[in-house]
Amino acid sequence: MTASARLTAEGLTIGYDRRVISENLSVAIPDGSFTVIVGANASGKSTLLRALARLLTPVSGTVRLDGRPLGDYQPKELARVVGLLPQTSIAPDGSTVVDLVARGRYPHQGFLRQWSADDEAAVTQAMEATGTADLAERLVSELSGGQRQRVWIAMALAQQTPILLLDEPTTFLDIAHQIELMELLTDLNAQGRTLVAVLHDLNQAARYGSHLIAVKEGRIVSEGAPDDIVTAAMVEEVFGLRCVVTPDPVSGTPSVSALGRARAARS
């Protein structure tokens, strides 16, 4: 694949409190892809995402958007191109769905321009795309986990960025809501948004992602289309898990089954 890439990183070394998490990482996020970053716990996958969103300043190396280092962008200017759904966000007491989604318009607003017709249209569209329009006047605190996550995604969509980063968007959801969310993300991707998500579930990553980045101990071990790179050898290297990889009966994408004991013998 020789796709163009607006968001790239070169020679990234990232760390917290002088502890190095990743060293000399280079990635390019293909435009229009649904890129999924996978890896074991504490492998540095969220750290990589945070660096791409400029939440972390790399110790060395540069993240570039359209060839310009992220550090050269004004915060609002960057926020009009790259959006982020953080792992945890807080809904202020008493906020309704529309209150929250409307806050996503901040990078497009100014001191005089606080609620333009564009803001209105973007918020309406975002709520329709996520199926939250009917919830507009509900309090966020009254919603179920799945609904709430869709509202947060609506807020990120209202930001109208061509690139959207998502940090473990399915973590607190049950299996049905996880699938519902992945389907929603697939739709958004099909409409032309570039998505980058950190996911735990390798099968979902292989099924919904178009480009996979496998991270281990802060290094990129493997990168490419799921069909090409999800193999038993790769899974064993990245997760330390022995497994077999078979085609998923529904989607035909690689599906991982762990080796180990079968169910405990029944009497």
Would you tell me which residues interact with another protein (CB under 8 A)? 50, 53-55, 74-80, 83-96, 98-100, 102-104, 106-107, 109, 111-117, 119-120, 123-124, 136-137, 156, 159
Copy the structure tokens of residue 5.
């890439």
Let me know: does 230 contact 244? Beta carbons within 8 Å: no
Looking at the Cβ atoms of 109 and 210, the one nearer to another protein is: 109
**Least distance to another protein from the beta carbon of 195, Å?**
15
Q: Residue 11's CB: how many other CB atoms inside 10 A?
A: 12
CA distance 259 to 243: 5
Looking at the Cβ atoms of 172 and 210, the one nearer to another protein is: 172
Looking at the Cβ atoms of 77 and 236, the one nearer to another protein is: 77
Spatial neighbors of 80 by CB under 8 A, at least 6 apart, are 107, 108, 159, 160, 161
**Least distance to another protein from the beta carbon of 115, Å?**
4
* Cβ-based burial of 151 (10 A; exposed 0-12, middle 13-18, buried ≥19): buried
Looking at the Cβ atoms of 93 and 261, the one nearer to another protein is: 93
**Least distance to another protein from the beta carbon of 209, Å?**
21
**Least distance to another protein from the beta carbon of 210, Å?**
23
